[in-house]
Structure 1
Amino acid sequence: MGYILAIDQGTTGSTVLVVDVRSRGEVKVIGRDTIEFPQHFPETGWVEHDLEDIWQSVETAAKRALTTAATLDRDFRVEKIAAIGITNQRETLCAFDRASAAARSRAIVWQCKRSTDICQRLKADGLEKTFRERTGLVLDPYFSGTKITWLMENRPELAREIASGRTVLGTVDTFLVARLTGGKSFVTEPSNASRTLAFDIRKGTWDEELLRTLKIPSVDALAEVRDSASKFGVTKGLSFLPDGVPITGVLGDQQAALAGQTCFEPGEAKCTYGTGAFLLANLGNEPKSSRAGLLTTIAWSLGGKRTYAFEGAAFIAGAAVQFLRDQLQLLDRASESEALATGVQAAPEVYFVPALAGLGAPHWDPRAQGAFLGLTRGTTKAQMVRAVLDGIAFQVADLTDAIAADLGQPLKILRVDGGASANGLLMKSQAEFASVIVDQPTQLETTALGAALFAAMGAGIFSGIDELKKLRKVDQLFSTSNSADERRRVETQRAGWRRAIHAVQVFAGTAT
């Protein structure tokens, strides 16, 4: 029974892994599939997903991954799946029927900016400090709480259904567990709950006062919160798994990557380069407040004991390369970016600010927009591609600076994962701009791996964190030069980046 089905439900697609954990010294992926699904942009700044598209992508990816596993491993059978682990896009809001788990509206995606004015209203009412102290978050449309407020104010029929208890609200993990269990389980866990603006991260409970402020009619509209490695329910009525398979591990995607990178000690940090770039640093069992524009979030809860993390989010990372490919058509394939940009310099002449969904930490400017700066008649396509890769690395360097300021010491090692971390040029630039050793593991899909490891713990296959620490293996390291000339060059490039950030904020009318 040493196989785990790991579901990684992301912003643009769903990945399912079949993970062999029979050998205690290593984990092996024996089946994998990814299914993309459509993005919906009904108005400027709005981003939506169809929950049925999400579910169908999970179902199809699971069937294909299980088929691959059966082909590659003669010992494997579907009946040998011991447990399911789930990791998910965190702040996306789902509204669905309590009894059937049928979607009641499109999901409002974490990138959606429709609740910007609500956030401004709450700030004007002097509530930002209260939210910050209790939730560790800032008032930004990124988080699901103000998306709920928007629904309650703008969808009166749905608001009535929520008030009556017929329709419930949750993050994507809650929706998936409900579907997997045939509507029997309505649950979440702290790493997801802590992204709602309604969860007190120190008490580990929904906050009744914040619920009223956000116009959430009752705590019953929100899911029961359980430990991150515990029993969330069992499968029922699925086309790809038998009934009775337990769901034993759930983590939000960035916390799952922190676990998959085995960052279990305070000060250990990782950055995931996916649609956005998300840097988390383990804080241990005591939450700390950031003075540098970072979030304080719950990493996970085990045995009722919460572990915390600092988090910095850049909303656009790998999506910037997709933007080059799909909107600007400067690339045929995203994988071409490294070869095209190698040997070409952009900064300090040409910059790209990837504020295509606003600026995240440490700037927190939802009104900012993306821009190329410094273009001339001599600018080449290769320079523009290099500027995009540099822009991703500059954003993360800002985050490492903020983490260092809050921890009181610089990061020495940054563990990396996610699709864009396979770009060697980007990782080399990252090491230079952030003055840090970039540590790339053999397994880049650490998000799904983290969900699998927590599910294995929840199922009793692994005894605890200490056993998981031994599983990570390093593939390669990227380091920075300590020469004086190199440091001067990087300082000049980063000074130009700061001017570029200021320029887009001037254009947005938000510069200070």
Structure 2
Amino acid sequence: MQVYADDFNSYLSFFPCVSRKISTTRSGKRRKHHISIRDFLRLTDRYILTVDEGTTQCKCALWDSEGNMKYLSVREMGIIYGSRGEIEMNPLTILDTVRECIKETLNMAHCDPSRLMGLGLTNQRETTIILDKTTGMPIHNAIVWQDRRGETEIGKLDNQARSRIKEVTGLVPDPYFSVSKMKWMLENSIKSKRINDLLFGTVDTWIIWNMSRDHRFITDLSNASRTMIYDINHLDWSDSLAEFFHIPTSLLPEVVPSAAPDLALIDISGIQVPLNAVAGDQQASLFGHRAFKNGDSKCTYGTGSFVLSNTGYQPSLKPDLLTSVAWRIQGDNTVYCNEGSAFNTGSVIKWIRDSLGLIDTSAESEKAAMRSTPDHGLIFIPALSGLGAPYWLPAAKGSIFGITGRTSANDLVRSALESIAFRVRDIMESMGRDGEKRSTSIKVDGGPTSNGFLMQFQADILNMDLYRSANSEMTSAGVAYMAGIVDGIWSYEDISRMNLYLDPIRPKMSTDESNVLYGNWKKAIESVIRYYSK
């Protein structure tokens, strides 16, 4: 039997430690719970399940009452690369992989779905799917966020349109976002289908529609704010932008809070498990890092690098950065964030491994870089999918400066890793404009943070302390914490007290030396920008 939060009255007589409590939301409102739900979870061995559907992997985890990840399963995701640079995924494979990953996690824990208190879902953002609601089938493969086929459409925008889009959505117009992908599908894949039979969604919407009772058609604010047709000021779809891009509003899902009780009931082996949290992966990671205060920042290193900073309860527009909804917990105010995205991080390491064959495994990049020397003289511009923040040049291509007859494979590897750190500094420099106080530290997570060379160089080039997450799954942690707050398992204060970080990595390079290196980087990247600009 599935137990919901409202059912705890019937259990109180069996568990004397379970008592009533009134918690306070971040905005000062009162929220009632029947708890101590944490004690109830501990006594009954119940869990929160999280699903993190990413670009390259799907990860499912079980979290206990203390906020510990107890079990984790990982499944690889398949990416389809077209001959003209298209990057796609099969939506049906996404769905199958999620279901298999959930099943594997529960089997590993010998956990029946009835022992799940709730579910948190986080996902790759911007990736676009359109389905036919009469058949439940997608009309085309999912177009992945990295796909650049919308360059022509976005390139047609004049300055007035670009300014209007930035003002309404907080986003710098770029084919990265969903709307150009959606428009391409409608123009190329609709065939004889009736427009009123079609539904658009990012990956969260696709998963929820297929796995929920009654096919709930929803997305949360954090995902909606990455489509480039969502008004972050009025927290609703923008009719004017939908009309501008010729997107019928009938295609668009209902926008719901990032965390609230029973956003949907997800069918897991015949048991209806309440979905209590949904968020885009980078916003979920920001929450997982406990970045609850204005100015708190984090950087996640994955396929790309994503630097996010909490900006409080009002949008804070900056010309070269993105402004999005970070999250909204039901009963609380909406929280916003600034974001800078560098599109190529893990993909750079993958490229030097698979395409160039310079290393056999990603982990070998650290040793290869250490065999090089600081005076190698190379500057690598990692524009394998264009340049994101703060340059926003989709047409840019990767470049390498300074090659000589003495350049070695190890030098190339080292310069590629250094480029990742330089791109993060580009973003941090943009965030630090407007006279804002510069932070002296940043929280980091993601697979590449295990690379000691990269992390030390990052601390050096930023002149900041780096705090690496002790838990590699901060994205999943974010939606676990959101779901736990909704369920009354934790308060914000409980989460803030959790010890999540390893010892800091401190800068060893002098400020003058790091500034000289960064100055050389700026000269190189500015020449690339001049070459590829119209």
Q: TM-score, normalised by structure 2?
A: 0.88
Which residue matches 1:19? 63
Do the aligned residues in 1 keep the contact of 2:139 with 2:189 (CA within 8 Å)? no
**Which stretch of structure 1 is more off in the superposition, 365-374 or 491-500?**
491-500
Distance 1:41 1:411 in 2: 39
1:7 aligns with 2:51: yes
The Cα offsets for residues 14-56 of structure 1, whole Å up to 9 and x where unpaired, read as 1111111x23xxx222211111122112242321111112112
Which residue matches 1:30? 70
Aligned counterpart for 1:79 among listed residues 106, 114, 137: 114
Matched residue type, 1:436: M
- Pairing of 1:316-465 with structure 2 (within 5 A): 316-342=344-370, 344-345=372-373, 349-406=377-434, 408-462=436-490, 464-465=491-492
How far residue 355 of structure 1 moved from its aligned partner, in angstroms, is 0.6
* Corresponding residue SS for 1:18: strand
Aligned counterpart for 2:241 among listed residues 210, 234, 244: 210
1:480 aligns with 2:507: yes
- Pairing of 1:77-116 with structure 2 (within 5 A): 77-98=112-133, 101-116=136-151
Aligned counterpart for 2:153 among listed residues 105, 118, 138: 118
Matched residue type, 1:78: P
How far residue 97 of structure 1 moved from its aligned partner, in angstroms, is 2.8
Distance 2:240 2:429 in 1: 34
Matched residue type, 1:411: S
Do the aligned residues in 2 keep the contact of 1:152 with 1:215 (CA within 8 Å)? no
Which residue matches 1:283? 311
Do the aligned residues in 1 keep the contact of 2:213 with 2:264 (CA within 8 Å)? no
Do the aligned residues in 2 keep the contact of 1:96 with 1:168 (CA within 8 Å)? yes
Which residue matches 2:211? 180
The Cα offsets for residues 297-340 of structure 1, whole Å up to 9 and x where unpaired, read as 11001226210111000001111101111111111110111122
1:221 aligns with 2:248: no
The Cα offsets for residues 130-154 of structure 1, whole Å up to 9 and x where unpaired, read as 1100100011000001211222233
Give ranges in structure 1 of 5+ residues lacking alignment: 71-75
Which residue matches 2:515? 491
Which residue matches 1:470? 497
- Pairing of 1:184-203 with structure 2 (within 5 A): 184-203=215-234
* Corresponding residue SS for 1:271: strand
Cα pair distance change 1:405/1:373, threshold 3 Å: same
Which residue matches 2:79? 39
* Corresponding residue SS for 1:384: helix
Matched residue type, 2:254: E
* Corresponding residue SS for 2:437: coil
* Corresponding residue SS for 2:337: strand
Matched residue type, 1:6: T
How far residue 488 of structure 1 moved from its aligned partner, in angstroms, is 2.6
Distance 2:435 2:347 in 1: 29
Give ranges in structure 2 of 5+ residues lacking alignment: 1-40
Which residue matches 1:134? 168
Between Structure 1 and Structure 2, how many residues are aligned?
A: 488
* Corresponding residue SS for 1:395: helix
Distance 1:286 1:345 in 2: 46
How far residue 346 of structure 1 moved from its aligned partner, in angstroms, is 5.2
**Which stretch of structure 1 is more off in the superposition, 322-331 or 342-351?**
342-351
Cα pair distance change 1:368/1:59, threshold 3 Å: same
How far residue 6 of structure 1 moved from its aligned partner, in angstroms, is 0.6
Cα pair distance change 1:131/1:348, threshold 3 Å: farther
Matched residue type, 1:324: I
* Corresponding residue SS for 2:503: strand
Do the aligned residues in 2 keep the contact of 1:356 with 1:369 (CA within 8 Å)? yes
The Cα offsets for residues 375-416 of structure 1, whole Å up to 9 and x where unpaired, read as 111111111111111000000011111111146121211100
1:157 aligns with 2:157: no
Which residue matches 1:73? none
**Which stretch of structure 1 is more off in the superposition, 431-440 or 399-408?**
399-408
* Larger gyration radius, structure 1 or structure 2: 2
* Corresponding residue SS for 2:105: helix
Cα pair distance change 1:347/1:209, threshold 3 Å: farther
RMSD of equivalent CA atoms: 1.8
* Corresponding residue SS for 2:387: coil
Do the aligned residues in 2 keep the contact of 1:347 with 1:496 (CA within 8 Å)? no
Superposed structure 1 runs of 4+ greater than 4 Å apart: none
Do the aligned residues in 1 keep the contact of 2:393 with 2:533 (CA within 8 Å)? no
How far residue 509 of structure 1 moved from its aligned partner, in angstroms, is 4.0
* Corresponding residue SS for 2:191: helix
